[in-house]
Structure 1
């Protein structure tokens, strides 16, 4: 993999991600990958990253009193997001679930399998698992399947609207 400064290679990332890069602290790099290998396990196997250094962004939706609430949740690839525990309570909803693929793609302007917390709607909370926030460098989606971003976990914790919690079970 050939890592390049993301701010200099916005052609490799989704438009909403590119527009939001200026607000991201730390060293953010991007690398082109085979889009067929974008899913975490295949990516790690082919490109030599560990699951412990890969973070997944899952979009969660919940409803309360007719109001729909979304959140982006960042967890290490080795963990499962506690959607009906910690995340449901944080969203203050009766029930929460993973957003349907078509809905997540439409609302984020990103490709499924590449959704990232950078460039999401400003009113969505970004819930970052404490283990992601503490990681020196994690690989995440770039908004498209044909590349990945790498950055310090602290950069995710510093995003506008981000909260660090213990999200995984």
Structure 2
């Protein structure tokens, strides 16, 4: 396994994600294994991190303050219209929040959108809470990605587990299955 220098942040252990399939959840490992597209799989970098400091504020203090602007969160939402519930994932920069009642509701054509319950998000995705990533999501889920994420040269995102993160070029998010890039998906937190 080849150690490398992470393109962002101060991580002691960075390696190409295809070399660390053993540390990824089964759906994430499967997605990395079958990766195709203009961004090669070896540009997906797995960095080993301490799960005790996975929350954003503590994480950036430990691994590098520049990471706040280069990190993204992936959250699972549930859109409801009548008796139909649609699960979707939304990826926004860490310093923003998802515009659930505006952009997401409109895009999903839902009457009401809320964050999916933790048991639903983890059970349906096969990932750990606090580590959900857009890589390896269920095939039928829409993936809404804020344009600011795609425009970021390198982005740190969850690895499917609370331990470890994945770094990949922002443009790679647009090539993920069911990805739709949307302007204004992430709005200022506050």
TM over 0.5: yes
- Partner Cα distance (1:69, 1:23) in 2: 25
Provide, for residues 116-160 of structure 1, a one-character-per-residue CA deviation record: whole Å limited to 9, x for no partner: 011111010111100001110000000001100000111111111
Pairs within 5 Å for 1:1-169:
1=11, 2-21=13-32, 22-23=34-35, 25=37, 26=39, 27-48=43-64, 49-166=66-183, 167-169=185-187
Cα deviation for residue 115 of structure 1 reads: 0.2
TM-score normalized by the length of structure 1? 0.96
Secondary structure of residue in 1 paired with 2:96 = coil
Q: Shift in Å at residue 50 of structure 1? A: 2.3
CA distance in structure 2 between the partners assigned to 1:132 and 1:67 by the alignment: 29
**By how many angstroms is 1:24 displaced?**
5.1
Aligned residues: 169
1:23 partner SS: coil
- Structure 2: tracts of 5 or more residues without a match: 1-10
Structure 1 unmatched ranges of 5 or more: none
TM-score of the pair, normalised by structure 2: 0.86
Checking the alignment, whether the CA contact within 8 Å between 2:45 and 2:167 is kept in structure 1 is yes
1:63-103 Cα deviation digits (max 9, x unpaired):
11211101110000111110000001111110101111111
Q: Is the radius of gyration larger for structure 1 or structure 2?
A: 2
Higher relative contact order (CA 8 A, sep 6+): 1
Query: For residues 63 and 24 of structure 1, what CA distance do their matches in structure 2 show?
Result: 32
Contact between 2:79 and 2:113, CA under 8 Å: does it hold in 1?
A: yes
Moved over 2 A (4+): 22-26
The alignment's C-alpha RMSD in Å is 1.1
Does the aligned pair in 2 maintain the 1:23–1:159 contact within 8 Å?
no
